[in-house]
Amino acid sequence: MRRLREGAEFVGIFAVVLGLLFVGFELRQNQLALQAQTRATLIQIDIESIRSHRLDEQLMQDTVNRDPRLGSVEELRNNLWIREVARTAENHFYQYRIGTFDEREFQGVRILWKNMFSNPEYRSWWTAHKAEFSLDFQDEFDALLSED
């Protein structure tokens, strides 16, 4: 009888430990989901800001008038478009790294990036602006662009 009780206690303790491990795992998953959602929201805010600037003709003209180094309105608009694409790519990369994109989804996105940034204008923009992005994304993107 005593051995049965000890065995039951052991099973009970083991079940509690497994339950705690499961709760810890679930908390970690929720934290990752929250981080992914927060990052996606911040990137979306950035993209919306860029887009609203890019689509406001008067604001674009005023910006170019204040800083002639930006070139023409069309040049600035194109640079902002490339920035939108790159910010979206950075978010896709981050989502993949934490597991919200699977490998097959991510490969399709990588092909899209490679095709877009094979354009010399896009490639030049990336070289000039990549320091504005996370180091991990820079490494990923540079590796992608150097593939044959």
pLDDT per position as a tens digit, 92-142: 898 888 888 888 888 988 998 999 899 898 999 999 999 999 999 999 999
Which pair of structure tokens corresponds to residue 97? Answer: 């790294």
> DSSP 3-state assignment of 56?
coil
Domains contained in the chain, number: 1
Alpha helix segments (H runs only) across 56-133: 57-66, 73-98, 103-116, 120-129
Cα(92)–Cα(88) distance, integer angstroms: 6
Q: Is 10's pLDDT higher than 90?
A: no
pTM of the model: 0.67
pLDDT per position as a tens digit, 35-75: 767 667 766 766 777 777 677 788 778 877 877 787 888 88
pLDDT score recorded for residue 109: 86
pLDDT score recorded for residue 102: 84
pLDDT score recorded for residue 123: 92
Print the domain residue range for 108. Answer: 2-146
